[in-house]
Amino acid sequence: MTNIAVLVSGRGSNLQAIIDSIESGYLKSRIAVVISDVGDAYALTRAKKHGIEAIFVNPKKFASKELYEKEILGVLKTHNIKLVLLAGYMRILGKTLLEAYKNRILNIHPALLPAFTGLHAQKQAFDHGVKVAGCTVHFVDEILDCGPIILQRCVEVKEDDTDETLADRILEQEHKIYPEAVKLFVENRLRIEGRKVKVIKS
Ligand code: GRF
């Protein structure tokens, strides 16, 4: 059983989707720990409700990103973590975590990468006037929202959409493709070849 850690900063609806997928038996893995950089993140409450260890690591207590990530790394090692999921984690990862967990960190982004990286991606896409928006699960590397793409899903933009209604429909798809991508990872069916990720048939 793959031990997973989920890093969060906010409401944790993607965390919830992963929890639900495990509880339903779709995902054969275990969330060993949820770590937040925000003390009152609702994601921490969600984790506790499901009996998952939930830890706030306060970045302000550390003099540098390296020291902060070393603390997180200690938690990951203690829990024998094999896969790290970023789920609304609002920090750019540094070398410490990226090197220790190379090709074992996934992220969900609410746009069809490589378009609309960074913050408020749904609004960026909406304001740009796209007809098709969507979401992406990808491996995390040193460049923001840039690592090899595992899964993407499209969402059509409707005439009467606002950036918020669009974001809601993208989120519904996020909750589907994140568990799907995690399943592929834990079943060892992903092969990174340069920028491409090959999915091995089951
Ligand atoms: C999601 O839209 C995700 O794609 C982005 O941050 C948001 C987190 O939402 N990276 P939640 O905390 O999972 O509800």
CATH of the domain at 131: 3.40.50.170
Q: Is the pLDDT of residue 75 over 90?
A: yes
Same domain, 133 and 90: no
The verdict on 2 and 74 lying in the same domain is yes
Does ligand 1 lie within 6 Å of residue 174's CB atom?
A: yes
* Residues 36, 75 within the same domain: yes
134 lines ligand 1 (CB under 6 A): no
Which pLDDT belongs to residue 56?
98
CB of 181 sitting under 6 A from ligand 1: no
Whether residue 124 sits in one domain with residue 92 = no
* 168 and 124 in a common domain: yes
Domain co-membership, 166 together with 198: yes
Q: Which one is catalytic: 109, 120, 128, 175?
A: 109
Cα(86) to ligand 1 centroid in Å equals 9
Tens of pLDDT, residues 100-147 = 999 999 999 999 999 999 999 999 999 999 999 999 999 999 999 999
Instruction: With a cut of 90, say whether residue 1 has pLDDT above it.
Output: no
Signed CA dihedral, 100, 94, 31, 190: sign only: negative
Residues 52 and 114 in one domain: no
88 lines ligand 1 (CB under 6 A): yes
Within this chain, do residues 68 and 82 fall inside the same structural domain, yes or no?
A: yes
Residues 6+ apart with CB under 8 A from 165: 158
Residue 178's domain spans which residues? Answer: 107-202
Ligand 1, residue 110: give the atom nearest the CA.
4
- Say what the pLDDT of residue 202 is: 85
CA of 139 relative to ligand 1 center, distance in Å: 16
CB distance 86 to ligand 1 below 6 Å: no
Q: In this predicted structure, what is the pLDDT of residue 133?
A: 98
Instruction: Tell whether 94 and 130 lie within a shared domain.
Output: no
- In this structure, the answer to whether residues 4 and 44 fall within a common structural domain is yes
Q: Is 113 left (phi over 0), alpha (psi -120 to 50) or beta?
A: beta
Index of the ligand 1 atom closest to the CA of residue 43: 12
> What is the pairing mode between strands 149-156 and 190-193?
unpaired
- The reply to whether 2 and 98 lie within a common domain is yes
pLDDT of residue 34: 99
Domain count across the chain: 2
Alpha carbons within 13 A on the beta-carbon side of 123: 4
pLDDT digits (tens, 9 = 90+) for 8-67: 999 999 999 999 999 999 999 999 999 999 999 999 999 999 999 999 999 999 999 999
